[in-house]
A = this chain, B = another copy of it.
Amino acid sequence: MLDVTERDVSLTEWVELIAEYEHNDIPIINIKEDGVTYDAIFVGGGAGGRFGGSYLTAMGGKALIIDAWPFLGGSCPHQACVPHHLFSEAAALLERERRLAGKLWFRQPGELKVSMLELIEAFRNLRNSAHAVMNFQTKSQLGVDYVLNAKATVIDPYTVEVAGRTFHTRNVVLGMGAHQRPLHLPGGDLPGVYDYATLVEDLDYEPTRCVIIGGSKVAVEYGSFFQAAGVQTTILTRSPLLTTKSLHHVDEDLRRYVVDNMRTSGIQILEGSTPIAINGDGKVEEVVVKTAEGDTVRIPCDFVYNGTGEKPLSDLASQWLGVKVGARDEVVVDSRMRTSVDNVYAIGDLIGGPMEMFKARKCGMTAARNIMGQDYEFDFSEYPDFLHTTFEVTWVGLTEDEAREKYPNVVTLQMPPKGIDPSTICLPASDGTMLYAFLRPEDSGFQKAVIDGDTRRIVGVHHVGYGAKDAFQYLDYLMSRPEGLTVDDMAEMNELFLNPEHFIQLSRLRAGSPNLVDL
């Protein structure tokens, strides 16, 4: 056991400690006071547990976070959001190099050589630095107790055992996350089959030909990265991409722009296809697939990526406490994150989709507030969303089609304007698409605001480009207010030009009119 409670562990020390302890089972203990009864023990120190424990501590409560890894933050900095963003940044840079090859300072076509393995190794080499921040911040800045590198056993809602010790609590908050659903088809466990987690953990060769099974957000994102990194990629998907039920409010114009762009990158997308088997002698060599036309096709490959979605890790929760579990393996909770068992809460990916950061963290906060006596509900049925291809794609609110079903007088502001060939217009030029605007105008992005013309409220915004993701957090907040966000409000704003999304100025060009029309 390593007790760091009394030590002032620096960031660099944490990096070294984590590197050492990830290869052993020795618990790391940071507990300010022995023998206390906690207000909550958070089982799982990912986003939900860490934010829940921090919020509860900030409120003056006593929280203990337990995680099996030697660091806090969960899968995000270890296998999920952080490497995903690293890979997506690489994908955007590499795709720009490919599309502008031979122009300006960009290398000639074929000259760019990329090692995907090297990038993954760069991530592996430094990911402990991100982990270290989580441990440092949570201990030294936020003052939260934790036990790391040790598996918890929940005895009942008031008793948790870990690292050979028994801890008492008034509530248990379960946040054990989710993991990739395995591929249920012959050859699904052959070497050479990867998912987002095993990719960063285990990849030890340079793939050249990839087949992705599944059409999830993760499949779209990683497929774009593989292709940009020079790995010829085929996506096998039952439904057309970005139409799955788990992705709501995807505008059809945006969807088409994004999917066409993936095809432009060279990704082969087989819609309506069903994988039959993965074959190979000791490692994957081909995927057998039944196409939409009913043909059986063999796709040679040395790399298969499982993009079929994740399953909440609810088995232990069920065994320990008998909490109710739903049809998709999720622990069932109410809007206060209470499970079916008194004093047991569940948060994050464990309660099902959307498996997004905002939800995990706000679940943790919601549990903390209720545990501390505040009556606080969290409704995550509506939220802003994004994904990366080689573009950043963001949206919030209604699609144009959804708006037309709901409102009689729908107005859109968009670029390129409806009916204009994108290759003849360099707009939406903006941060990140300036070179495209002047060298390949059709790649300068797409944006659309959807407005209820009667109330003048902006009811949906949709963006393909770069640099708008951060803004969509605030657009979501503004649009969700009871008073909403009108084109007249937008016309009053102080734009920072060239703004990545041009909604403020497009709104201003129309706002003078009592009768809004498309732009």
Contacts and interface: CB of A to CB of B under 8 A. Distances in A.
Interface of A: 10-12, 51, 54-60, 76, 81-82, 85-86, 88-90, 93-94, 96, 103-105, 107, 112-115, 118-119, 122-123, 125-126, 129-130, 133, 137, 141-142, 356-358, 361-362, 365, 368-369, 380, 383-386, 392, 394, 417, 420, 424-427, 429-432, 434-435, 437-439, 441, 466-478, 489, 491-501, 504-505, 508-514, 519
Nearest to A134: B427
A133 B489 CA distance: 25
9 contacts: A55-B512, A85-B434, A86-B434, A129-B424, A130-B437, A369-B512, A431-B469, A471-B473, A477-B492
Most buried by B among A96, A470, A475: A470
A494 B122 contact: no
B473 A496 contact: yes
Contact of A129 (B12, B361, B417, B426): B426
Contacts of A427: 130, 133
Given A51-B508, A505-B361, A130 B429 contact: yes
A493 B473 CA distance: 7
Contacts of A105: 94, 112-115
Q: How many copies does the complex hold?
A: 2
Contacts of A438: 86, 122-123, 125-126
Most buried by B among A122, A494, A498: A494
A386 B505 CA distance: 17
Contacts of A86: 434-435, 437-438
Contacts of A385: 496
A509 B58 contact: yes
A486 to B, nearest CB: 12
A129 B500 contact: no
A138 to B, nearest CB: 9
B365 A491 contact: yes
A213 to B, nearest CB: 26
B81 A12 contact: no
Given A59-B512, A86-B438, A141 B426 contact: no
Given A497-B358, A499-B469, A519-B141, A104 B89 contact: no
A17 B499 CA distance: 28
Contact of A122 (B113, B425, B439): B439
B55 A508 contact: yes
A242 B122 CA distance: 35
Given A56-B512, A426-B130, A494-B476, A115 B123 contact: no
A380 B103 CA distance: 41
Contacts of A89: 431-432, 434-435
Contacts of A356: 497
A358 B497 CA distance: 7
A469 B499 CA distance: 7
Contact of A441 (B55, B129, B386, B432): B129
Nearest to A11: B424
Nearest to A374: B512
Nearest to A505: B361
Contacts of A420: 11
B474 A475 contact: yes
Contacts of A489: 477
Contact of A512 (B76, B368, B500): B368
